[in-house]
């Protein structure tokens, strides 16, 4: 299966650091916001209970409310990010908040799958690399992401690779999801079926027996 270069997945971006470990999906998007089935519109509610004070005003101490967080496209998070429930809304909220990738030392399996299926890139690195990213962070530091090569370039120029399933990589690079991939094969399926012998129902014979 060939892969094509999608420049959307070769980018440089500033990042923000959320050092908290075991961030679960209810913290990413609280359950009360799960009434929608629309993928858009959840960005303002990402990390809602940390992001806003009880009176609804922004919490000035939360990382996403810092002036330097504006425009950041990569979230560097603590160990075991995305644990808890399987809600896709967590991924929708992060994407709606402007993130294209999340970097952590480990991800919950279901969160990783939801991310790959919804255009959010989970980049798993070693604990040492994660600590280095957190320690070297400034408002101006940037990382470089190259999905085609599965590489992350750190602010000091060090390049590390990250794991990604081949099929997920193909879909992201080609801008399709699993359904889109299946639809692309429709002509091949029809061609194959046209070469097969006709079939008949055996339901009547079974009833007669």
Q: How far apart are CA 177 and CA 103, in angstroms?
A: 22
pTM: 0.84
- According to the model, what pLDDT value does residue 114 have? 96
Q: Is the pLDDT of residue 59 over 50?
A: yes
Using pLDDT thresholds of 50, 70 and 90, give the confidence band for residue 193: confident
For residue 197, the 8-state DSSP code is: P
Who wins on pLDDT, 207 or 198? 198
- According to the model, what pLDDT value does residue 209 have? 47
Q: Is the pLDDT of residue 136 over 50?
A: yes
Q: Which residues contact 42 (CB under 8 A, 6 or more apart)?
A: 29, 33, 36, 89, 92, 93, 96
Structure tokens at 81: 């990010």
Mean pLDDT, rounded, for 175-188: 70
Kindly report, residue by residue over 64-76, the tens digit of the pLDDT: 999 999 999 999 9
Mean of pLDDT over the chain: 90
The number of CA neighbours under 13 Å toward the Cβ of 47 is: 20
Burial profile 56-75: b = 16 or more Cβ within 10 angstroms, e = fewer: eeeeeebbbbeeebeebbbb
For residue 46, the 8-state DSSP code is: T
């Amino acid at each position: 299966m060939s892969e094509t270069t999608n420049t959307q997945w070769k980018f440089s971006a500033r990042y923000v650091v959320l050092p908290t470990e075991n961030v679960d999906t209810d913290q990413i998007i609280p359950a009360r916001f799960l009434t929608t089935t629309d993928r858009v519109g959840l960005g303002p509610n990402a990390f809602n209970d940390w992001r806003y004070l009880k009176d609804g005003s922004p919490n000035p101490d939360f990382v996403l409310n810092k002036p330097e967080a504006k425009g950041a496209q990569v979230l560097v998070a603590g160990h075991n990010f995305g644990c808890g429930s399987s809600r896709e809304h967590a991924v929708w909220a992060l994407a709606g908040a402007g993130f294209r990738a999340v970097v952590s030392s480990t991800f919950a399996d279901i969160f990783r799958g939801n991310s790959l299926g919804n255009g959010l890139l989970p980049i798993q690195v070693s604990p040492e690399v994660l600590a280095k990213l957190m320690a070297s962070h400034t408002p101006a530091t940037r990382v470089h992401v190259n999905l085609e090569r599965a590489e992350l370039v750190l602010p000091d120029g060090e390049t590390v690779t990250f794991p990604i399933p081949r099929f997920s990589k193909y879909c992201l690079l080609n801008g399709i999801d699993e359904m889109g991939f299946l639809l692309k094969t429709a002509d091949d399926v029809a061609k194959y079926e046209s070469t097969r012998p006709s079939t008949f129902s055996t339901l009547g014979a079974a009833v007669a027996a």
